[in-house]
């Protein structure tokens, strides 16, 4: 890996583990085994490097989610597969955790990719719910936009509950809860 | 207010705004208008002060939630009132945000009150759902524990979505979504 690559990958890991506020340029350089000169040759500073790191994490997340939601099967089955896919629950969501970072939310260039990712995710799930309604799998009264928002929120909040408990069970329980409510809206 | 009080209140504000990782003892002292000597007279260090601050925030949150959920009315109405009560959505939850703070989650004495608060909250909501089932307001197949976990997760994840968007709308949408799913399980 080039020094630039190592810097971006190290920044991604540290943003996930310690957040933007908790990560100094020096820590990134040490993990990347890159000098200060190298970092400032490739990036204007910590903010520009963090933006590159967030962009890449967001891109990977979108690709993975899209692959899962675009598969065959009924709408609710695809949503269930997405919610239940193997996750390192206690690490949380690498994009979602950034919303609790005051300097990410306070810096437009850093909040932008976070905002876009969640707007995209809600729209993508709303489209799946809408498909389910149009195909007659879900009750016609199911509202795609708010149902999608509740699904994404349950996932993000599930991480909060799991991290609070120091165990994945509350995450699994929240997912089971939203899926049971959603399944009750399927047309049998 | 005594110096001790000012230190605890300042720590509470800063933990909410900037988290534990992002808050130095010096910043707390400055906001509290207390000297270093005063802080170390009352507390062994930043960790002990943060614990006192988290305990108080958690206690206030429990009292407020309990008052709301113990009121009269049907189970789903009480849950709706709790979810829709006026909130400073963009600031997020003062307890939930701590789960994204690596040094809170990594320090047993700081994670403990966070864990207890969410365990209590899930149990409290599960009791309300259970009441709703027992009184025949909710379908008998509604599972109290997982439904409660989904409700708490939607609330916590709603904050994530709102902070990502820089606007409260996605929070309101997520709450509307979970309440619509829950209302569909009421016995009419």
CATH topology of domain B54-183: Tetracycline Repressor; domain 2 (1.10.357)
Report the alpha-carbon distance of residue B11 to residue B53 in Å, rounded.
6
Nearest-CA distance B20 → chain A (Å): 9
Report the alpha-carbon distance of residue A138 to residue B2 in Å, rounded.
59
Of B150, B164, B184, which has the smallest distance from its Cβ to A99's Cβ?
B164
Interface of A with B in 29-88 (CB under 8 A): none
Probe site for chain B from A79, A120, A138, A161 (most B CB atoms < 10 A): A161
Residues of chain A positioned with their CB less than 8 A from the CB of B99 = 92, 159-160, 163-164
Q: What is the pLDDT of residue B87?
A: 87
| Interchain contact A170–B (C-beta under 8 A) | yes
Per residue in A15-26, pLDDT (tens digit) is: 999 999 999 999
Residues of chain B positioned with their CB less than 8 A from the CB of A166 = 105, 111, 115
Strand partners, B138: B186
Superfamily (CATH H level) for A51-183? Tetracycline Repressor, domain 2 (1.10.357.10)
Describe the crossing of helices B144-165 and B108-134 by its angle, rounded to 10 degrees.
120
Provide the token pair at A103. Answer: 């300097």
When pLDDT is cut at 50, 70 and 90, the band that residue B183 belongs to is very high
Average pLDDT of span A91-106: 94
Cβ atoms A144, A151 nearer than 8 A: no
| Interchain contact A184–B (C-beta under 8 A) | yes
What is the SS3 assignment for A86? coil
Per residue in A117-168, pLDDT (tens digit) is: 999 999 999 999 999 999 999 999 999 999 999 999 999 999 999 999 999 9
DSSP conformation class of B89: G
Domain ranges of chain B: 54-183
Q: How many CB pairs under 8 A join A and B?
A: 215
Per residue in B38-94, pLDDT (tens digit) is: 999 999 999 999 999 999 999 999 999 999 999 889 999 999 999 999 889 999 999
Output the DSSP codes for A90-118.
GG--TTGGGGG-HHHHT-HHHHHHHHHHH
Q: Under 8 Å CB-to-CB from A145, ≥6 apart: which residues?
A: A122, A126, B173, B177
């Amino acid at each position: 890996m080039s020094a630039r690559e190592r810097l971006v990958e190290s920044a991604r890991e540290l943003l996930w583990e310690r957040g933007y506020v908790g990560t100094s340029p020096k820590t990134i350089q040490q993990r990347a085994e890159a000098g200060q000169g190298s970092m400032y040759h490739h990036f204007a500073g910590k903010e520009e490097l963090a933006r590159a790191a967030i962009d890449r994490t967001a891109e990977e997340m979108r690709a993975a989610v899209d692959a899962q939601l675009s598969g065959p099967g009924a709408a609710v089955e695809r949503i269930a597969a997405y919610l239940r896919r193997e996750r390192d629950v206690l690490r949380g969501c690498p994009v979602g955790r950034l919303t609790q970072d005051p300097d990410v939310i306070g810096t437009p260039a850093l909040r932008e990719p976070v905002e876009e990712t969640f707007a995209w995710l809600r729209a993508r799930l709303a489209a799946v719910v809408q498909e389910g309604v149009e195909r007659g799998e879900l009750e016609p009264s199911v509202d795609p936009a708010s149902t999608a928002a509740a699904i994404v929120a349950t996932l993000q909040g599930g991480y909060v509950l799991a991290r609070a408990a120091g165990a994945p069970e509350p995450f699994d329980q929240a997912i089971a809860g939203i899926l049971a409510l959603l399944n009750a809206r399927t047309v049998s």
